[in-house]
Chains A and B, each alone.
Chain A
Amino acid sequence: MPPKPFLLFCFLLWGCRPAFSQLSPRTASYDIQVRLDTAEKKLYGRQALHWANPSADTVRELQYHLYLNAFRNSESTFMREAGNFGFMIDAMRENCGWGWTEVQRITDGDGNRLAMEYIAPDDGNPADRTVLRVPLARPVLPGGTIRAELEWTSQIPRAAARTGYNQDYYFLAQWFPKVGVYEPAGMRFAQAGQWNCHQYHAEGEYYSDFGVYNVAITLPAGFTVGASGVLQGVEEQGGEKTWAFRAEDVIDFTWAASPHFKEIKETHNGVQLRLLAYPYHEHLAERYFRVIKFAMDFCGSRFGPYPYPGLTIVDPPLHGMFSSAMEYPTLISTANLCFLPASVRTSELLLAHEFVHQYFMQMVASNEQEEPWLDEGITNYYEARIMDELFGPQSSTVDWLGFRMGNLESNRGEFFGLDNPQIADYGRFSWQFPEGSGHAISYSKTTLWLRTLEGLLGTEALDEVMGAYFRRWKFRHPCGQDFIDVVNEEVAKKFGNRFGENMDWFFGQVLYSTELCDYAVASIANTPVAPPAGIFEETEDCVRPEGKGEPRFRASVIVHRLEGLYFPVEVRITFEDGQTITEQWDGKARSREFVYEGRGRAVAAEIDPERRICLDKNFINNSRAVAPQKTGVRKYFLQFLFWMQNAMQGLSMLV
């Protein structure tokens, strides 16, 4: 029997538990009761916002996002920008499935009815109603709190981008009036205290404060609901059910409902995994859980255990594809077409990606609208790491009928596949990337330079740096400079000044310039060196060149930097006797010559043989050999020949 003081200690510890388990500052918490009218496709909501002023300012207004107003008409800022959502938006437009949110009433804790007006801080678009300004009757003092109660109604858009309904499938993301983030002076880019509450744009979604969400959802009894947080209970009354959820220390709350969902549950590391899939996708559960468990272990060992009790995975039906591939706190969605072969791993890569977002976006809550690379890029990089480790680096995304493509490889393909990869740097908001280049730059280019950073520091060191960044900024709102600061500190700690005073030279290039990287071996020359001949001080007679013996060679290898970016690289030179020399080159000069005398002839040279500099746009010119290299040429020539023969024989069948 344990001694009594120990029991007392345990009891005290238990009593303190809520304080220990509070992970975030809980600045903006919500109690929401919402009723879904499936006939009218409407939401009727009542909500109370508990907002704590995080600053030393006196705050005189609140600003709310009314995201669903993006789908109110064709003139909203979202709709004007929504080129990438073409076919989804078309479906909404054609079916007159527009959506909106109207706040009927807002009162403060004292019962004062508050005024409200729509504002458009980004573009002044008078038709945009996605931001609501609410001047307060009584300002919120520094460190003070306010309770704001709202009554609102929303028309759910039909199959809009990321959110909406189609048939009897509902995916409610960005669905309730959500308060913006108040940034005190000095936080991120804020010069003075300010509301950061952008309009809803077609690109870039998240930036919110942490809080606790108590959400009660009432809808017809036949529906199954999946949502952020943990299910507290279900009550049935008069043919309707009310599902109560509680999500703690999250920045958002999302839910999905359908009468056709099949629920499949598993537990991993004490976390309940809940898959909601349509019956004909049930067989995919094993694939989904496999990658989620792997990603959970992968992230857990690098950044810390997933701290939430559950994770809900929604596998939308075909008509719900508008909601696929999305990340919300403790709820993610994937996409799959069940006639696709299992070796086309779209759903796996989406799940890996959306799970990593639980760390970068949800816990490290950067501003996706202002710096999309900070969550999407880092997430995409770790998606590639997870996929390549789980399924092999050259086949992790597709391995079908002889066609293979790894995840990291596909990122190189996407970024360098841009018509103009130099089209934009990162110094712009998510909706300001020209010609739809945002994805390739925020996701893929970031993946490439993070892989390059990994190549320079080593995988383990990079993971430690990223772990430090995560730990310092979890449940906070970092900006890009905060990330750079952590990298600088950690690299200095680990490597001293091996990479210079700090890593600003690296970020200055990859983040704030649009230059590309391309190293090439320009030439290899081997010139015979005549032995010394003539009159020398220590000789009396003329020294004649000896005709015998091995001839000496002066081997010269010239390498070029063809593009603007530079990184320290290795150059490996192979000599005719099979010996190699690996040179370290700072990679800065436009041209560099490596000269060797008396080592015999150089037969080949290769820059960055380990392919650490993933940003190098052309790996083919990274190496050169003196003798023609026939294996590859022969292989691809024979393949081409065989295809031609088959094509010809196939054509002859038409005769």
Chain B
Amino acid sequence: MIVITAYTQGWNAVFRNGRMWLALYLFNLLLALLAALPFSGYLSRTIGSSLAAEGSPGGFDYTLFNDWLREYGQGLAPILDASLGFLLLYLLLSVFLMGGILLVFLQFAEPFRWGIFWRGCPRFFWRLLRLTVYFLLVQAAVLSLFGLLFYLTTGGFAIFEMETEMELVQPLYYLLPVYLLVAVLVFMVQDYAKIHVVQEDRKWLARPLRQAFGLVFRNFGSFFLLYLLNIATLLLLFGIYWWGSGPLSSAGSPALLFLWGQLFIFGRVGLRLLNLASAAYLYHRAVQHSGTEA
């Protein structure tokens, strides 16, 4: 079955380009470190000579958190502001790296070469940035629409008009799955649009976008199944992390918990790559089938 092939080919591509996987993880770690280091310094200055934080090995310590936030929280604001800056920077970096990642995956059987990767990064940056902005706007519109629908179905959260609190929850039973479906579809179209932009290397986005829509429409079954498979893998990763972090947290070993967390982040980066690699494979097969014109 083509979807399974794409999925396994995706894994193959991820492992074949393991250096890129590692590099992307390191980018994540490095930027997060840059954002978090001022926090470490601030922690040292505020609780570094106190015994208050030493006695709370596992779990969340509300009293410590509360006292700290109240007494020293003012110093946190600039750190959080800087963190937001780093998040924005990471978003831009992700756009930049996306061109390289897709160019690498579109080489298929080729062994990994940094040259291809770095060539792709700047080449597609502006186009992928525009694409990201467009799709962010679409996602925001979808979210607002469903938010509005939820608001309307609950009568504007009119709790005094409701029979039970389930009336607050019940609309979510059908709205949430439909929303998730629509959001996933938009993400899916976005992924194939990106691949198409890189593959076709066109200056303007209107045509690749139209073509990506057409491609997804024509191959909806297999594209969507692959997407579900990738999402399921991601959920599995979250489950495994959750399963392991509880005992590690209560065991009171921050170092072990951190290592477990790093494995999780590494896994998340890998699954992001898996999604792109498997989609690139499926895209390639779909284009082959339908001739040169996608």
Residues on A close to B: CB < 8 A?
91, 159, 166-167, 278, 280, 317-319, 321-322, 337-339, 394, 402-406, 409-410, 412-413, 416-417, 604, 606, 617-625, 628-642, 644-649, 651-655
Contact of B28 among A159, A278, A402, A648 (CB under 8 A): A648
Q: Does A632 lie within 8 Å of B52, measured CB to CB?
A: yes
Taking the closest CB of chain A, its distance from the CB of B165, in whole angstroms, is 4
Known: A280-B166, A637-B40. A652 touches B53 (CB 8 A): no
Cα(A625)–Cα(B55), bound, Å: 13
Q: Does B63 lie within 8 Å of A409, measured CB to CB?
A: yes
Cα(A640)–Cα(B68), bound, Å: 15
B98: A residues at CB distance < 8 A: 655
- A-B contacts, 23 of them at CB < 8 A, read A318-B163, A318-B167, A322-B160, A409-B66, A604-B51, A619-B64, A620-B72, A621-B50, A621-B71, A622-B52, A631-B57, A632-B47, A638-B258, A640-B39, A640-B40, A642-B261, A644-B35, A644-B87, A651-B87, A651-B91, A652-B91, A655-B91, A655-B132
Residues on B close to A: CB < 8 A?
28-29, 31-33, 35-36, 39-40, 43-44, 46-54, 56-57, 59-64, 66-68, 70-72, 83, 86-87, 90-91, 94-95, 98, 128, 132, 135-136, 139, 159-169, 187, 249, 254-255, 257-258, 261, 265, 268-269, 272
A159: B residues at CB distance < 8 A: 160
Q: Does B162 lie within 8 Å of A319, measured CB to CB?
A: yes
Q: Does B90 lie within 8 Å of A651, measured CB to CB?
A: yes
Q: Does A648 lie within 8 Å of B159, measured CB to CB?
A: no
Cα(A654)–Cα(B272), bound, Å: 11
B161: A residues at CB distance < 8 A: 319
A649: B residues at CB distance < 8 A: 28, 265, 268-269, 272
A641: B residues at CB distance < 8 A: 32-33, 36, 258
Beyond known contacts A641-B32, A645-B28, A645-B265: 8 more, CB 8 A cutoff: A339-B166, A339-B168, A606-B51, A628-B49, A629-B47, A632-B53, A649-B28, A652-B94
A618: B residues at CB distance < 8 A: 67, 70-71
Cα(A626)–Cα(B159), bound, Å: 56
Cα(A413)–Cα(B64), bound, Å: 10
Q: Does B54 lie within 8 Å of A632, measured CB to CB?
A: yes
Taking the closest CB of chain B, its distance from the CB of A606, in whole angstroms, is 6
Known: A319-B161, A618-B67, A638-B258. A631 touches B53 (CB 8 A): yes
Q: Is the interface of B mostly helix, strand, loop or mixed?
A: helix
A653: B residues at CB distance < 8 A: 187, 272
Q: Does B165 lie within 8 Å of A318, measured CB to CB?
A: yes
Known: A628-B48, A645-B32. A655 touches B254 (CB 8 A): no
A166: B residues at CB distance < 8 A: 160
B163: A residues at CB distance < 8 A: 167, 317-319
A319: B residues at CB distance < 8 A: 159-163
Q: Does B66 lie within 8 Å of A413, measured CB to CB?
A: yes
Contact of A394 among B32, B59, B83, B95 (CB under 8 A): B59
| A319 (CB) vs chain B CBs: closest residue | B160
Q: Does B87 lie within 8 Å of A647, measured CB to CB?
A: yes
Cα(A404)–Cα(B66), bound, Å: 12
B255: A residues at CB distance < 8 A: 634, 638
B64: A residues at CB distance < 8 A: 619-620, 632
Q: Does B54 lie within 8 Å of A652, measured CB to CB?
A: no
Q: Does B62 lie within 8 Å of A410, measured CB to CB?
A: yes
Q: Does A620 lie within 8 Å of B52, measured CB to CB?
A: yes
Taking the closest CB of chain B, its distance from the CB of A85, in whole angstroms, is 13
Q: Does B43 lie within 8 Å of A625, measured CB to CB?
A: no
Cα(A649)–Cα(B146), bound, Å: 25
Known: A317-B164, A394-B59, A654-B136. A633 touches B94 (CB 8 A): no
A337: B residues at CB distance < 8 A: 165
Q: Does B49 lie within 8 Å of A624, measured CB to CB?
A: yes
A404: B residues at CB distance < 8 A: 59-60, 62
Q: Does A409 lie within 8 Å of B62, measured CB to CB?
A: yes
Known: A318-B164, A649-B269, A654-B132. A631 touches B29 (CB 8 A): no
Taking the closest CB of chain B, its distance from the CB of A563, in whole angstroms, is 12
Q: Does B49 lie within 8 Å of A636, measured CB to CB?
A: no
A638: B residues at CB distance < 8 A: 254-255, 257-258, 261
B36: A residues at CB distance < 8 A: 637, 640-641, 644
Interface centre among A405, A410, A412, A654 (most CB of B within 10 A): A654
Contact of B159 among A318, A409, A645, A654 (CB under 8 A): A318
Cα(A317)–Cα(B160), bound, Å: 9
| A654 (CB) vs chain B CBs: closest residue | B136
Taking the closest CB of chain B, its distance from the CB of A373, in whole angstroms, is 22
